[in-house]
């Protein structure tokens, strides 16, 4: 396996370095791969098969969103034509877009994040020049993030030969996406009203949609305190996958679980919740087994060429740039995607934190 982020992350099996006072890892973890990390420092607290290349399912939509979100203003509107919806896999999850109906970009993103709508993914891909161009853009962005385990074949995560990612890479995608205000808003939205088909009389009704992230909605499993996204997935080849982010106090943790062998209902969410519980309790009582690396444009020449050898711990650091959050939800202590580009040359150093805005709680929203 790859050693990006540290030598231990390239070893198979569970990797954890407990110190005095550390709690035991949960005993019921059955995922083929998983990872729990501090979202700001990038410290990986524990992992299993972090760089195993596995089918990602719809968790790959995090990379899709992180790649395309900056390209279209959310107020932009697009009329769906038949060609936009071509090529979706059989049985794809859909939000219910209708041909000859017009949607805002914001509505399309709500369809992606809440309903994991492959129809919304394909429409946004069409706006971006088509599926193949979007796949190319996603692969380039994955390489920029140093997500070297990822090979993109479809933009929506639908099963395809050769399409793989890893628990490590999915966590990188989430961490990068969470720097973007709109990404944070969409992935934390629990319910929303979505526009229906445009009728000839000009009337257009709406219908309710609910996020498929069950830790966010509390459907089938308890709502997880402090949860604020990110994305779940499920396909025949991938099984169930999930990446989540949660905040308790000032501590923000990222967790990824891929394909639990235990086939109980909602198992991926249960294992993710147990890992989050452990991570919050273990903070300060475990030695990191690796780190989430900074992007190439932020890591500097040494970080870009290190290849993830042991000791490669380039981290992002910005002293808290100004910003705004929708409806007062976000505390302006983080950085935006735009400032990442502007400050990359000077603001990223080794062993420093990558601040995130306060993540808050789930939200119910309207487009």
Distance CA 191, CA 115 (A): 10
Give the Å distances, CA to CA, from 209 to 16, 181, 186, 235: 39, 21, 13, 21
User: Among 87, 66, 108, 59, which residue's Cα sits nearest to residue 234?
Assistant: 59
Q: Which residues contact 287 (CB under 8 A, 6 or more apart)?
A: 17, 18, 19
User: Among 206, 191, 218, 212, which residue's Cα sits nearest to residue 118?
Assistant: 212
Distance CA 154, CA 146 (A): 19
Beta-sheet pairing, 189-195 with 363-364: parallel
Residue 61 appears among annotated catalytic residues: yes
Give the Å distances, CA to CA, from 56 to 29, 238, 256, 301, 312: 18, 6, 11, 30, 25
User: Among 273, 252, 242, which residue's Cα sits nearest to residue 167?
Assistant: 242
Beta-sheet pairing, 286-287 with 251-260: unpaired
Distance CA 212, CA 127 (A): 25
Spot the catalytic one: 2, 48, 61, 270: 61
Spot the catalytic one: 2, 92, 93, 116: 116
Spot the catalytic one: 58, 92, 93, 125: 58
Give every strand in the sheet of 206-210, ordered side by side: 206-210, 189-195, 363-364
Distance CA 20, CA 35 (A): 21
Q: Write out the catalytic residue numbers.
A: 58, 61, 116
């Amino acid at each position: 396996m790859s050693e990006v982020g540290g030598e231990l992350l390239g070893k198979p099996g569970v990797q954890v370095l407990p110190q005095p006072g550390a709690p035991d890892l949960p005993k019921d973890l059955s995922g083929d791969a998983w990872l729990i990390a501090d979202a700001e420092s990038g410290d990986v607290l524990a992992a299993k098969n972090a760089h195993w290349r596995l089918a990602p399912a719809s968790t790959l939509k995090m990379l899709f969103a992180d790649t395309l979100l900056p390209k279209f203003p959310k107020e932009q509107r697009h009329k769906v034509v038949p060609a936009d919806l071509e090529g979706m896999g059989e049985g794809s999850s859909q939000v219910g877009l209708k041909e000859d109906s017009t949607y805002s970009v914001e509505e399309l993103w709500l369809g992606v994040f809440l309903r994991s709508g492959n129809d919304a993914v394909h429409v946004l891909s069409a706006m971006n020049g088509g599926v193949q161009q979007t796949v190319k853009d996603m692969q380039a962005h994955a390489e920029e993030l140093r997500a070297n385990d990822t090979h993109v074949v479809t933009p929506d995560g639908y099963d395809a030969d050769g399409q793989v990612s890893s628990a490590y890479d999915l966590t990188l995608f989430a961490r990068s996406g969470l720097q973007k205000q709109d990404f944070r808003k969409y992935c934390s939205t629990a319910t929303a009203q979505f526009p229906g088909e445009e009728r000839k009389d000009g009337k257009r009704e709406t219908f309710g949609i609910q996020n498929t992230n069950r830790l966010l909605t509390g459907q089938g499993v308890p709502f997880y305190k402090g949860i604020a996204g990110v994305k779940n997935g499920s396909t025949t080849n991938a099984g169930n996958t999930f990446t989540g982010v949660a905040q308790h106090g000032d501590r923000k943790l990222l967790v990824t679980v891929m394909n639990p062998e235990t086939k109980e209902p909602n198992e991926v969410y249960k294992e993710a919740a147990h890992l989050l519980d452990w991570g919050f309790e273990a903070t300060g009582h475990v030695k990191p087994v690796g780190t989430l690396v900074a992007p190439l444009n932020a890591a500097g020449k040494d970080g870009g060429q290190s290849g993830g050898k042991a000791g490669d711990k380039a981290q992002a650091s910005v002293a808290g740039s100004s910003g705004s959050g929708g409806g007062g939800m976000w505390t302006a202590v983080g950085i935006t995607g735009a400032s990442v580009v502007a400050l990359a040359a000077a603001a990223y150093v080794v062993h420093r934190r990558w601040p995130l805005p306060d993540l808050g709680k789930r939200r119910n929203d309207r487009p």
